[in-house]
Amino acid sequence: MFLFKRKDTNRTLPKHIAIIMDGNGRWAKKRSMPRSAGHVAGAKTFKDIARYCNKIGLEYLTVYAFSTENWKRPKDEIESIMNLLRDYLKDAENFKSDNIRVKFIGNLEPLADDIKELIKKDEEGSKDATGLKLNIAINYGGRDEITNAVKKIVKSGVDAESITEQTISDNLYTSDMPDPDFIIRPSGEYRLSNYLIWQSAYAEYWFSDVLWPDFKPHHLEKAIDEYNHRNRRFGGV
Ligand code: FPP
């Protein structure tokens, strides 16, 4: 019921995979390179993995590119990530030919005006794509998202007793998509870091020591293989 047939094999796919793209800094440090070089390599991996997910027929992929907490990083590092985002957005035509629909989730308001413009253009330009639905989380924080949802609900003047879990879900950035079934975090960290905390209540998790820039399609395949052996009961028996 929760599994989808892959395009290229008879194996099954989760409907929605979410990835925490972690380990760029350590990847660069291991090579005595600046952290920004790790993000450049991470951005390449992101594009390769998104294309691979599209190729195998995944329906939803959501990646964590910048969190509400990442503003605490040095200014030049933040700028390097924003510039990679700019490059990616300007390169959106390439993704168009891939038939990937792109959507950004997070509080986009504090982003630079040119980035916001490019995001609008990119979302609009890819809205009719029928392949992978790619969500990029920027200035995203799960607690921030839930706080904003509560504000919206209170402002709507709804009767408190009529609020259900669905009311909360309907007011999140992800209201138009299913919850992630599978969360992948490379780089040897075993935490969620404020990522999709409401949506991942029943998700399966997969961790690996590989650093994000070294993450290849075969790692994803290994993760999916493991997912296929998980027994999801959603609180039942
Ligand atoms: C976490 O690794 C990674 C980030 C905070 C940035 C992720 C950004 C990209 C992959 C590139 C830009 C994305 C797009 C959509 C173009 P880290 O820096 O925390 O690594 P560390 O834990 O080893 O220090």
pLDDT in tens, 113-142: 999 999 999 999 999 999 999 999 999 999
The protein residue whose alpha carbon is closest to atom 3 in ligand 1 is 22
* Probe residue for ligand 1, chosen from 21, 30, 91, 194 as the CB with the greatest number of ligand atoms within 8 Å: 21
In ligand 1, the atom with minimum distance to the C-alpha of 38 is: 18
3-state secondary structure at position 102: strand
pLDDT digits (tens, 9 = 90+) for 20-44: 999 999 999 999 999 999 999 999 9
* Nearby residues of 148 by Cβ (< 8 Å), 6 or more positions away: 107, 171
pLDDT digits (tens, 9 = 90+) for 35-72: 999 999 999 999 999 999 999 999 999 999 999 999 99
- Claim: this prediction has a pTM higher than 0.85: yes
Does position 8 have pLDDT exceeding 70, yes or no? no
Sequence-separated contacts (24+) of 26-32 with Cβ below 8 Å: 26/187, 26/211, 27/211, 27/212, 27/213, 27/214, 30/211
Q: How confident is the model at residue 1, as a pLDDT?
A: 44
Ligand 1 site residues (CB inside 6 A) read 21-26, 39, 42-43, 46, 65, 70, 81, 84-85, 88, 136
* Probe residue for ligand 1, chosen from 20, 39, 85 as the CB with the greatest number of ligand atoms within 8 Å: 39
Does position 204 have pLDDT exceeding 90, yes or no? yes
* Cα–Cα dist 168/129, whole Å: 28
Q: How confident is the model at residue 92, as a pLDDT?
A: 78
**Residues belonging to the active site:** 22, 70
Average pLDDT, the chain: 94
pLDDT digits (tens, 9 = 90+) for 161-191: 999 999 999 999 999 999 999 999 999 999 9
In ligand 1, the atom with minimum distance to the C-alpha of 136 is: 15
Q: How confident is the model at residue 10, as a pLDDT?
A: 62
